[in-house]
Structure 1
Amino acid sequence: MHENIYCNTVLKTKSRSSNKNCFSDERGGIVVLFVALFLSLVANAVLVYLHYSDGCEPVTNCTDPVLHEELDDEHNAQNIWIHPKDNKDWTAAHNCPEKSFTEMWFKNKGRFYVFSTDVKNWNSSRERCQALGGDLVIINSKEEQEYVAGMILKMKTKALYWSGLTDSQTEGKWRWVDNTHLNHSLWAAEPDNYISLEYPEGEDCAVFNGRINEAQWGDVSCLRNERRICEILCA
């Protein structure tokens, strides 16, 4: 009788111990499986990132200008600073045709000029430019205006492009996004601050008008969705 009780107790203890070991093994296996699955997902994410980002992002680092010795018409040596690859299309889409990019990048005299192909309102356009490391374009000279206008007309889009010029703070006092005053202009018989039923707030933001010669400026409502030009200093 005592032997049977002892045997039953031993058997039950062994059975419970075996069950505990089985449960521990199962839990351990599940943990290992989850860890392996997690690591696999991380590895795949890294590979996908590398595949789509490697060489597919616009390059914001300008090559340093190189000092060249050239001969003028009278065969006299003169040193000239040359900015390599100015006006080259740096758009990443040229290297990654499978991806869709909404901007075209061009470098000129230590700056990138980024021309969008999508449209946004003025504030959203400025946010996009700032996200790229710059701001909406500021025209500081006649030469810069000619360059930007030339690029717009060359694209033949006949579109309007946002600039960094606005009088939203004080009507009639136009300032650039860096808070500098407008010291020269190329308005096309504007600004007129036209008020319409669609835009009763008036016209407080300036655009380059790609539909006319020299892409002269016009004022339109800041709420309109138009293309943009960002200006980014070379890193």
Structure 2
Amino acid sequence: MGLDGGSALAQLAVEIALLNDADQLSLFRALETWEQSNDGLPPAFPDPDEVTVIEATNLRAREQIRCPNCGKLNPSNQVMCYACGQFIVLNHNKFATQPLNATGDNLPPGSYFGPHSLLVFKIKLSGEIFIMRPQLKPDLFLIGRGVNGVVKADRDLGAPLPAMLGVSRVHLGLMYDAQRCLLTVMDMGSSNGTLHNGQPLYAGETHILRHGDELLLGRLPLAVTFHHPIRENDSP
């Protein structure tokens, strides 16, 4: 007997992770062509007013919080300790929205991201593509440049363009919510800031990331797409 839909997709996800960058790019191009031929893509970039903000940090807050690792005091909106690089904001429950239907029926349009979905960042200036599965990491999945430093990015956006355009070594964090099948994004205290569909994304603030969104890391523009080889609730 053959594999059911869910098992086949799980196996496919393993095989995708083993592909080299060139083969992953070829697979992405094939998926992109298929989706366009089936009218599966939403408008490229949603209205900035549609950004879903989960919780905003009070930027004027002067309180300080102590790093649980080294004991140094940090501004209350700091995500990582300036001294040792330890995550200070570890409990993302405080950024949670009100409970949503676990099937995804009540999610904002384009926000569904399942356990087998693929996240794709495309650098608009160069066309370079990065394929990721942040749901495989139980905590923050980090985006940045370079591999040196106290904290290393899980996905290095390469060189030299990101460095020239102000991308920090650890610039962005992604957190997967398995219960609601969505991704949230937060700035990690970057030097040059982040825009999400034209709106500032402050350190300690989280937005829901959606298919078709645009991110601006420093001055580096990224197009965001989600790809779903199969929707889990469509499996036989």
Per the normalisation by structure 1, the TM-score is 0.24
Higher relative contact order (CA 8 A, sep 6+): 2
Q: Whose Rg is larger?
A: 1
Structure (1/2) with the larger helix percentage: 1
Per the normalisation by structure 2, the TM-score is 0.24
